[in-house]
């Protein structure tokens, strides 16, 4: 595929995709002013799915425990708020920091094994965090959720409103900034090494490159991204529940990643938006049987578009080339 789509500068392609996300976000703001609550949830969940993509899509380590990092970021930001930190930007920083630390520890534990054992380890970790959060109800609110989060206006100027405009713009801007930074990272020599590790870690090791430190850095980075997402959700929802550190949340993130296409930052974002958007539309239309419809749709996508929705873009390009509508640069 790379031969077909060779471009003068790979970063230019990234810029176009970033601009597309920005445009889609702004279009949502104008076209769906009544759905910004959902849009904000999509943006904060996109952080979780993107963070999962770094570990699974790029570094090749399957995990079903990513929500642990997301939720820890959310709890950290919420606790910082309850302790008197009102500024949302600082809350996101706290969430990102907590996520990074958690990601480092998570990585250090998970990377001790490989394959299926590793997958089981990630499940065990998220369950442990979930149970700990249930037990430590003084700082997590237990199963009732941690409520009473009172967020100050952003930079003292933009108040969070009922329609969720401020919350959405806040989440969107942070998402775009994060995607910009990450797309530079995944194009860097470090990012290329990460892809190589994802394909064949043994080979990278024989080439003389250190695998373990690179993976630990990835887990830390991934934790930071997930933690920021958790903090944004805590800010926009005002409550942090046990679901934010649950296995279910982790598994759903993996479903969204597969739907969008793993190993691509924008695939992660697209998967989140498509899945949660469809879920919302279908569940509003038929609140009683929507799960069945969503399940069938997922099966159809996995059977017919196994590499994820973003792979469709390449297919369309190829089709256009076949019909001579687009000059092929081969």
Partner 1 sequence: MLQKLMRIGAAAATLVLIAGASAGADTIKVGIIGPLSGPFALGGKNFKAGVEAYVAVHGDTVAGNKVEFVYRDLDGPDPGKAKSVAQDLIIKEKVQYLGGVYLTPSAFAIAPMLEEANVPLVIFNAATSSITQKSPLIVRTSFTLWQTAVPLAKQVAKDGVKKLIITVTDYGPGNDAEAAFRKTFEAAGGKVVETIKMPLSAADFSPFLQRVKDSDAEAVFAFLPSGASTVGFAKAYVESGLKEKGIKLLATGDVTEESGLQAVGDAAIGIRTTYHYSLVHDSALNRDFVAAATKAIGNADELSFPAVAAYDGVHVIYKMIEATAGKQDAKTAVQSVSGLAWESPRGPVKIDPVTRSLTQTIYLREVAKENGRLVNKEIASYPDQPDWGLVK
Q: What is the CA radius of gyration of the chain?
A: 20
**Closest separation in Å from C-beta 219 to partner 1:** 25
Q: Does 34 bind partner 1 (CB under 8 A)?
A: yes
Q: How far is CA 195 from CA 57, 72, 199, in A?
A: 8, 27, 6
CB-CB neighbours of 150 under 10 Å: 9
**Closest separation in Å from C-beta 165 to partner 1:** 5
What are the residues facing 154 on neighbouring strands? 158
Count of residues touching partner 1 (by CB under 8 A) = 46
Q: Does 291 bind partner 1 (CB under 8 A)?
A: yes
Residue holding tokens 């445009």? 23
Among 200, 243, 315, 328, binds partner 1 (CB under 8 A): 243
**Phi, psi values for residue 190, rounded to 5°:** -60, -45
Stretch touching partner 1 by CB under 8 A, among 31-39, 85-93, 181-189, 320-328? 31-39
Q: Does 165 bind partner 1 (CB under 8 A)?
A: yes
Q: Does 29 bind partner 1 (CB under 8 A)?
A: yes
Alpha-carbon distance of 319 to 8, in angstroms, equals: 22
Question: Which C-beta is closer to partner 1: that of 191 or that of 229?
Answer: 229
Question: Which C-beta is closer to partner 1: that of 69 or that of 240?
Answer: 240
**Closest separation in Å from C-beta 135 to partner 1:** 7
Residue holding tokens 């296995």? 247
CB 103 within 8 A of CB 222: yes
Alpha-carbon distance of 170 to 188, in angstroms, equals: 28
**Closest separation in Å from C-beta 148 to partner 1:** 8
Report the helix count and the strand count for the chain, using DSSP H and E. 14, 0
Q: Does 250 bind partner 1 (CB under 8 A)?
A: no
* Stretch 40-79 residues interacting with partner 1 (CB under 8 A): 40-41, 44
Among 38, 59, 69, 97, binds partner 1 (CB under 8 A): 38
- Residue 151 carries which DSSP code? P
CB-CB neighbours of 158 under 10 Å: 15
**Closest separation in Å from C-beta 327 to partner 1:** 34
Among 14, 17, 21, 35, binds partner 1 (CB under 8 A): 35
* Stretch 166-185 residues interacting with partner 1 (CB under 8 A): 169
Burial 90-117 (b: 16+ CB within 10 A, else e): ebbbbbbbbbbbbbbbbbeebbeeeeee
Q: Does 162 bind partner 1 (CB under 8 A)?
A: yes
**Closest separation in Å from C-beta 131 to partner 1:** 7
Q: Does 287 bind partner 1 (CB under 8 A)?
A: yes
Question: Which C-beta is closer to partner 1: that of 134 or that of 311?
Answer: 134
Alpha-carbon distance of 54 to 242, in angstroms, equals: 24
152 token code pair: 């100050």
**Closest separation in Å from C-beta 69 to partner 1:** 16
Q: Does 159 bind partner 1 (CB under 8 A)?
A: no
What are the residues facing 223 on neighbouring strands? none
Which one, of 236, 157, 175, lies nearest residue 25 by Cα? 175
Stretch touching partner 1 by CB under 8 A, among 52-60, 236-244, 256-264, 300-308? 236-244
Stretch touching partner 1 by CB under 8 A, among 35-43, 87-95, 112-120, 212-220? 35-43
**Which 3 state secondary structure label does DSSP give 85?**
coil
The residues that touch partner 1, with contacts defined as CB under 8 A, are 26, 29-30, 33-38, 40-41, 44, 131, 134-135, 137, 142-145, 147, 161-165, 169, 233, 236-244, 248, 280, 283-284, 287-291
């Amino acid at each position: 595929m790379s031969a077909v789509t060779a471009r003068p500068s790979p970063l230019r392609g990234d810029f176009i995709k970033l601009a597309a996300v920005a445009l889609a976000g702004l279009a949502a703001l104008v076209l769906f002013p009544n759905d910004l609550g959902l849009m904000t949830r999509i943006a904060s969940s996109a952080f979780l799915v993107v963070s999962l993509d770094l570990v699974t899509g790029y570094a090749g380590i399957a995990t079903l425990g990513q929500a642990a990092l997301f939720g820890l970021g959310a709890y950290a930001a919420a606790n910082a708020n309850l302790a008197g930190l009102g500024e949302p930007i600082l809350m996101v920083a706290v969430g990102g920091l907590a996520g990074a630390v958690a990601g480092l520890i998570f990585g250090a534990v998970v990377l001790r094994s490989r394959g299926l054992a590793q997958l089981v380890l990630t499940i065990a970790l998220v369950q442990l965090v979930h149970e700990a959060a249930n037990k430590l109800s003084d700082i997590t609110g237990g199963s009732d959720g941690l409520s009473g989060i009172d967020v100050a206006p952003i930079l003292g100027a933009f108040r969070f409103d009922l329609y969720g405009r401020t919350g959405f713009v806040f989440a969107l801007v942070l998402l775009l900034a994060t995607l910009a930074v990450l797309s530079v990272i995944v194009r860097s020599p470090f990012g290329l090494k990460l892809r190589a590790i994802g394909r064949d870690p043994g080979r990278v090791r024989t080439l003389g490159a250190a695998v373990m430190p690179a993976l630990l850095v990835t887990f830390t980075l991934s934790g930071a991204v997930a933690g920021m997402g958790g903090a944004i959700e805590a800010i926009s929802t005002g409550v942090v529940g046990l679901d934010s550190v649950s296995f279910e949340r982790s598994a759903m993130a993996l479903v969204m990643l597969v739907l969008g296409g793993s190993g691509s930052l924008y695939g992660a974002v697209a998967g989140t938006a498509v899945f949660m958007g469809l879920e919302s539309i279908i569940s509003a239309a038929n609140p009683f049987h929507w799960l069945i419809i969503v399940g069938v749709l997922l099966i159809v996508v996995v059977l017919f578009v196994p590499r994820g929705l973003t792979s469709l873009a390449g297919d369309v390009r190829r089709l256009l080339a076949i019909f001579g509508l687009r000059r092929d640069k081969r």
